[in-house]
Amino acid sequence: MYTKQDLILQLQQMGLKPRDAVMMHSSMKAIGPVEGGADTVLDALTEYFAPGLFMTPTHTWRQMGPEHPVFDPAAEPSCVGLLTNLFMRRPGVVRSLHPTHSIAAFGPGAAEYIRGEENVTTPCAPEGVWGRLLKIRAKVLLVGVTHARNTYIHAVEEMLDVPERLTDKPVDFTIVTPDGGHKPVKMHRHFNPVEAHISERFVKLTDCYFETGAAVRGRLGDAECILCDCEKLYEVTKKVLSHHINTFIDVDPVPPEWWRE
């Protein structure tokens, strides 16, 4: 049975600092038994990163669409796990207004960081919250999950203009704004003719990221973790995709020389 202090110690052992900006994708089940359950996990994370910026995805891509086009950030549940749903409802946590790929954020500057998501037109726009992880030198912490859940790599693909990642035509959504208004928006969705969920292919670069130092291993509770440096992850992914822009689609393994050169 892990305590809050046990979890904080594990964050320190991974080399994380309280002032870091961290985006966490997680599996509460993988973390295992914690005294106080999921709330204690969030207590540990928000207390430790209080001087920094702590974030989780609060995606709604699974349920949002033509039959469910109205996104109310105050009420719409996240489709990516227990911790994300609990976190976004905590005092002091703010949620972005993206209708399919919103995030929740806590810490100084959180409200400023999420501003403007209602104006982007793609899932992980370079100028949006996912692309800005690179600009603020953030880290991505994968807790009990793989790069298949690493949304930041979608943002890298958008930065590098990888083809066939988005629908040709956007979908009409309506966002319920904090003042109670309704803002109509048009949003492209993720799409690829070969792989419905392209992120499942991101694991192809797991060894590449470890070998280059773009990612390191860690642990939180019982969960095996992958801690990623967003700058290095971008540079390594760019190098690999410079050899073959559709590396993630290709069924062949990635030649090591593509990242070792």
Structural domain containing residue 248: 4-260
The domain total for the chain is 1
Q: What is the DSSP letter of 205?
A: G
Bridge partners of 65, per DSSP, are 68
What integer is the mean pLDDT of 59-88? Answer: 97
**122-146 average pLDDT score:** 98
Tokens of 184: 């109509």
Whether the pLDDT of residue 15 is over 90: the answer is yes
pLDDT tens digits along 94-132: 999 999 999 999 999 999 999 999 999 999 999 999 999
Alpha helix (H) residue ranges in the chain = 4-13, 28-31, 37-48, 82-87, 110-114, 132-135, 152-159, 206-212, 230-243, 257-260
Examine the pLDDT at 196 and tell me if it is beyond 90. no
pLDDT digits (tens, 9 = 90+) for 3-13: 999 999 999 99
Question: Is the model's pLDDT at 161 over the cut of 90?
Answer: yes
Q: What is the pLDDT of residue 251?
A: 84
Per-residue pLDDT at 69 exceeds 90: yes
Residue 261 pLDDT grade (very low, low, confident, very high; cuts 50, 70, 90): confident
